[in-house]
Amino acid sequence: MQRYTGEVGDLIVGRITTVDSKRWKVDIASHRDAVLQLSSINLPDGVQRMRTYDDQLSMRTLFVENDLISAEIQNINSDGIISLHARSLKYGKLENGQLIIVPSVLIRRLPQHYVSLSYGIDVIIGLNGYVWISRTIPEEWKNISGDIDDVLDEMAPLAETLQRIRVKHRETSLTYDERLKVARTRNTINALAKVRHHITPDNIEAVYARSMELNLSPMVQHPLTLCTYLSILTILPT
């Protein structure tokens, strides 16, 4: 498979491979692991400050080996080493979902790579060919409820609000219906990749909708299921 080379500004999904002093190494399907510096992430409290020795000691409380993250390419040096950053509040650890890996050549540059699909599933389409699938965060999680800690977004700092939502997402198991949607979305993307169609929101939506019309099984990686998914790709333009 062709290795991902990357450009500055690319959104990627990657897997932590090593925790080093002041940095993590990240597999992004490139020729070598990318580097994410401790200074290039948002700390959990959201406060922008100099990193301390205590921060270095607690790096494993943030990311450990095999964790999945979203980030952006910050720099590519003359040796081809890719440096990442995750300073935006939308970047960070990915949990409670499923990863699928496709050839990076099938990923087009899109206006948005964080996409909420119409049927209640979110995808992060990494330009390196790593695609993350999870549920769309319910609107009620973002609004006030009976719990004293669940306050309106505008009444709390944005970082605090997003952290609260991420914790709730991590600690709340996907429902049976959400798991079926994730599985069906994975089958859809897998089928698109098998026949070298671009992985775009429109293509995912079209194949997913047709699979629902035909009542295809959402079972993951079943050979007969994949064949039936492939058979409906004639609905897409080449």
Q: Mean pLDDT over residues 18-46, rounded?
A: 91
pLDDT for 151 equals 38
Look at residue 196 and tell me whether its pLDDT is greater than 70: yes
Q: Cα(first)–Cα(last) distance of the chain, in Å?
A: 22
Confidence grade of residue 144 (pLDDT, cut at 50, 70, 90)? very low
Confidence check: pLDDT of 126 > 90: yes
- Distance between CA 28 and CA 24 in Å, rounded? 12
At residue 113, φ and ψ (nearest 5 deg) are -105, -10
Across the range 34-55, mean pLDDT stands at 83
Judged against a pLDDT cut of 50, whether residue 119 lies above it is answered with yes
CB contact at 8 A, 121 and 135: yes
Q: If you average pLDDT over residues 5-31, what whole number do you get?
A: 96
Q: Which residue has the higher pLDDT, 16 or 52?
A: 16
Q: Can you say whether residue 159 is alpha, beta or left, with left for phi > 0 and alpha for psi between -120 and 50 degrees?
A: alpha
* Residue for token pair 């100099």: 50
CATH numbers and ranges of domains, the chain: 1-94 (2.40.50.140), 96-238 (no CATH)
Q: Are residues 88 and 72 in contact, defined by beta-carbon separation less than 8 angstroms?
A: yes
Q: Are 106 and 130 in contact (CB under 8 A)?
A: no
How far out from the chain centre does Cα 73 lie? 15
Local confidence band at 145 (pLDDT 50, 70, 90 cut-offs):
very low
pLDDT of the residue at 117:
98
d(CA 104, CA 238): 18
pLDDT at residue 1 greater than cutoff 80? no
What amino acid occupies position 49?
R
What pLDDT sits at residue 11?
98
Nearest residue to 57 (alpha-carbon basis) of 74, 38, 36: 38
CA angle, 42 as apex, 142 and 34 as ends, to 5°?
120
Higher model confidence: residue 21 or residue 159?
21
Residue 231 confidence (pLDDT): 64
pTM score, whole prediction = 0.87
Query: Which value, to the nearest 10 degrees, does the dihedral of the CA atoms of residues 39, 45, 50, 55 take?
Result: -70
Cα(83)–Cα(155) distance, integer angstroms: 35
Confidence of residue 219 (pLDDT cuts 50, 70, 90): low
Residue 55: per-residue pLDDT: 84
Rounded Cα distance between 66 and 196, Å, is: 28
Residue 32: φ, ψ to 5°: -145, 165
Query: Per-residue confidence at 211, pLDDT binned at 50, 70, 90?
Result: confident
Helix-helix angle 201-213:176-194, to 10 degrees? 110
CA distance linking residue 79 with residue 111, whole number of Å: 30
With a CB cutoff of 8 Å and minimum separation 6, the contacts of 3 are 29, 30, 31
The reported pLDDT for the residue numbered 168 is: 93
Q: What is the pLDDT of residues 155-186, one digit of tens each?
A: 445 777 888 888 999 999 999 999 999 999 99
Please tell me the predicted confidence (pLDDT) of residue 141. Answer: 85
For position 9, what pLDDT does the model report?
Answer: 96
Q: Is the pLDDT of residue 229 over 70?
A: no
